[in-house]
Amino acid sequence: MDRHLALELATTIRHDGHGGVADDLATVQGLADWLRAQSDLLDPSLGTGDFAADEAARAEVVAVRAAVRSLFARAVSPEPPSPADADRLLSTEDALRALNAAAARQSVTPQLDWPVGADPRKSLRSGEPDPVVRLTAALARAAIDFLTGPQRELLRACTAPRCVRYFVKGHGRQEYCKPSCSNRARVARHYQRAKPTAQKPTA
């Protein structure tokens, strides 16, 4: 399955496995770890790989994530959004403003590289000195690419019990983000059916 930087950012808010919600970006160390795990998705020419995370950077990345998740919520509509932040979504207008502003903070120039014997590659060059600007702009660009690309139509919020993930629907019948979610949903449906029907009091 293809990984998308925007989706990876959105899914740093996830089911913690115990009925709660975990946030991988809750701490500066969490941001550093997450960035290391995404190094293959971040353009190395932007210099985000050797990024020194701090609280200010964390706050800016979390702000981009809030915009991305708010737009994901809109993208899956009329299906319900992820329940993790359904009660604190930004308006579409505010989310667009935040995302576009983050992308606009850095100007980049695409460059064509054609190493001998290898495929041509596109890289991005930028004179932007602030690594936080480079990082947040790269995340915002990834979200813009995602939301204007073919994945948007396939974006879903997983409806398995307790799951809060957004995912890109793969094969035709995929309904849940992971096989474990599919199993949990099946078990929940089973118990729903097995439960004796309670008598509803008539009002």
> Cβ closer to Zn ion: 173 or 200?
173
Rounded least distance, CB 3 to Zn ion, Å: 16
Task: Kindly tell me which of 84 and 181 has the beta carbon lying closer to Zn ion.
Answer: 181
Q: Which is nearer to Zn ion, 10 or 158 (CB)?
A: 158
Nearest distance from residue 165's CB to Zn ion, in Å? 5
Residue 80, amino acid: P
What gap in Å lies between CA 146 and CA 174, rounded to an integer?
Answer: 20
8 A C-beta contact, residue 155 and residue 76: yes
Of 146 and 176, nearer to Zn ion (C-beta) is 176
Q: Which is nearer to Zn ion, 46 or 75 (CB)?
A: 75
Largest CA distance in the chain: 79
Tokens matching residue 122 = 């596109």
As measured in angstroms, the least distance from the Cβ of 198 to Zn ion is 28
Rounded least distance, CB 156 to Zn ion, Å: 9
Give the footprint of Zn ion on this chain (CB under 5 A): 158, 160, 163, 165, 177, 181
Q: Which residues contact 54 (CB under 8 A, 6 or more apart)?
A: 28
How far apart CA 69 and CA 8 sit, in angstroms, is 11
Smallest gap from residue 184 Cβ to Zn ion (A)? 8
